[in-house]
Chain A
């Protein structure tokens, strides 16, 4: 059963002669607790598609359904609330806030929630423990290595335990050892029940996903599925629920 559904999604930028079609009618269904990888050449439209799936970029036409919610049918503020509750984002280049320390960066999504300060701190510490950075809570981002910064970004994405994680080139700035650590971390989060949608250039990273879809010239061009892993993961998620 589909958990996330893209229905004939089109995205055009510009108007008139300068109009560019970045995404040309993609249909895609993603199951709950699925780990899906989106691959493609630069400029193929994969990041634009991910932005639309994540409620960050309004499609020109088509719909994005999460559960039974048409996320672009929601008003801007409601969509922000929806993102905060149901989605976590892991950005390329980490995108940590430079003037907040690790603990504060992780707590960022909780800044506008109704948790008490104690609860926020406990959730952030717990998220940092999940990524193994609890001892670096008071450091600033520029005092961490690239791999550590990425793990902070992951901790921030999961701190409020959203059911869906969006990751855009999560290992784009990391060496192979750190890349592997981050991918194992994502794999573990997925095995704990989180749906992960990842954009990557790397075939190696893609192998961690249950399914890989390729985007070319704004359209889905191929799909490959690692059925056994997907089945195991979904069973694990179901058992945990």
Chain B
């Protein structure tokens, strides 16, 4: 017979109380686990979705001059130093430390040509990457499926009266317009989009690119580090982060996390109160028993140990069950929030955290009841002596 036997026997033989106590704390832990797991999955989902809305890093050749261009308006005066970077350099991006965060690399090459007596700009793109990067594009007609097909921007199509199926001659080569972009409000409206390899050959820029747009998943990575890593790998390139895009994405995520933390803190508080009230009730209910312990020679610390041991056992059980229930609830509920349930995985850190949290809450909430129990006047507690 040791003190822990008393604690264990009390819990074992008072099953209803044990179940009630475990349930009270378990619900709190489960709610927090569910919330944290949901936050993590939704944050990843949000980050994933937000990253679908365009590039956040631009790679261009290094230039000595300044481009006098603002908001798409060229102010002239300084010649644009149109250098190129090697297409093979882009492969080096896959070797950077944060390569896993790089989702899309869309290389581009420019070429100027004349059509119907007017100059126009052709943009060679890797269509699968470009379409993946620009999810907002809406194409009237078909997406290009062969090397002889191009997509024309809304304004360019209007100016040259082109529509899906029209034929266009660019530098003595005939192309079929497979689709026309609906107005995007960007420079894309004025461009002719053609396959990258075709453009490189047509404008004599094989193996070279003028720029590349990169979409990096930056939920858990500092975009600045990725920029530095790419710059180190491609010294000839100027790598720029679109800070505004990045900042707005991170702000949205942080706001979501702040809100979730507030909800978690509230649940934590309610959980603590449940444990406190239950433990206090348990101590009051056991007044006589505590009086006996005291009378037969248990020290205050012995009585505290019994109460805190019970709290510890309840807390560990609540933590483990709460974690499993929380994960289960998230698993059941997640398909209603996102289609990215494949991201779902058991996080050992959350498991350890849940048990640790339950122990901290359980012991903290039981500290006052345990102290109150240890300070009970034995004769008062027994009321018979």
Nearest CB in chain A to that of B293: its residue = A108
- The contact of B296 among A51, A93, A109, by CB within 8 Å, is A109
Contacts of B293 in A (CB 8 A): 108
* SS of B interface (majority): helix
A47 at the interface (CB under 8 A from B): yes
- Residue B379, interface by CB 8 Å: yes
Chain B residues within an 8 Å CB radius of A92 = 384-385
Total inter-chain residue pairs, C-beta < 8 Å: 102
Partner pick for A156 among B3, B296, B377, CB 8 A cutoff: B296
Q: A97 with B292: in contact, given A51-B385, A92-B384, A104-B5 (CB under 8 Å)? A: yes
Closest to B306 in A: A111
Residues in B277-311 with C-beta less than 8 Å from chain A: 288-289, 291-302
Q: Is A7 an interface residue (CB 8 A)?
A: no
Within 8 A of B (CB), among A70-84: 76-77, 80-84
Contact of A217 with B by CB under 8 A: no
Which parts of B64-81 form the interface with A (CB within 8 Å)? none
Residues of B with C-beta under 8 A to A104: 1, 5, 9
* Pair B296/A83 contact, Cβ less than 8 Å: yes
Given A56-B378, A104-B1, A111-B5, check contact A99 B10 (CB 8 Å): yes
Contacting residues of chain B (39-97) with chain A, CB-CB under 8 angstroms: none
Tell me if B6 is interfacial: C-beta within 8 Å of chain A. yes
Task: Please give me the residue from chain B that is nearest to A91 by CB atom.
Answer: B384
A237 at the interface (CB under 8 A from B): no
* A-contacting residues, B330-382, CB 8 Å: 377-379, 382
| B299 with A47: CB separation less than 8 A | no
Q: Mark A40-68, 1 if CB is under 8 A from B, else 0.
A: 00000001101100101100000000000
A168 touches B300 (CB 8 A): no
Q: Does A107 belong to the interface (CB within 8 Å)?
A: yes
Taking a contact as CB atoms closer than 8 A, the residue among B5, B302, B384 that contacts A47 in the complex is: B384
- For the complex, what is the distance from the CA of A216 to the CA of B384, rounded to whole Å? 18
B3 contacts A95, C-beta separation under 8 Å: no
Which residue of the partner chain B has the closest CB to A140?
B13
Chain A residues lying within 8 Å of B382, measured Cβ to Cβ, are 56, 91, 95
Q: Mark out the residues of chain B between 1 and 25 whose CB falls within 8 Å of any chain A CB in the assembled complex.
A: 1-3, 5-6, 9-10, 12-14
- Measured in the bound complex, the distance between the Cα atoms of B5 and A124 in whole Å is 15
In the complex, which residues of chain A have a beta carbon less than 8 angstroms from the beta carbon of B6? 97, 100, 108, 111
State whether B302 touches A112 (Cβ < 8 A): yes
B297 touches A109 (CB 8 A): yes
Which of A56, A81, A89, A100 sits near B9, CB closer than 8 Å? A100
- Is A110 among interface residues, defined by CB-CB distance under 8 A? yes
Does A85 reach chain B (CB closer than 8 Å)? yes
Known: A56-B379, A104-B1, A111-B2. A95 touches B297 (CB 8 A): no
**B161 CB, min distance to chain A CBs, angstroms:** 92
**Do A56 and B3 touch (CB < 8 A)?**
no
* In the complex, chain B residues whose CB is within 8 Å of the CB of A120: 1
CA distance A108 to B194 in the complex (A): 88
* Cβ–Cβ < 8 Å partners of B302 in chain A: 111-112
- Bound complex: CA A48 to CA B378 (Å): 12
17 further interface pairs, Cβ-Cβ under 8 Å (given A56-B382, A98-B13): A47-B384, A47-B385, A51-B385, A56-B295, A56-B378, A57-B377, A76-B300, A80-B299, A84-B296, A87-B297, A97-B292, A108-B6, A108-B292, A111-B1, A112-B298, A117-B2, A169-B384
| 6 nearest A-B pairs in the assembled complex, by CB-CB distance | A84-B297, A99-B13, A107-B1, A51-B379, A57-B379, A56-B379
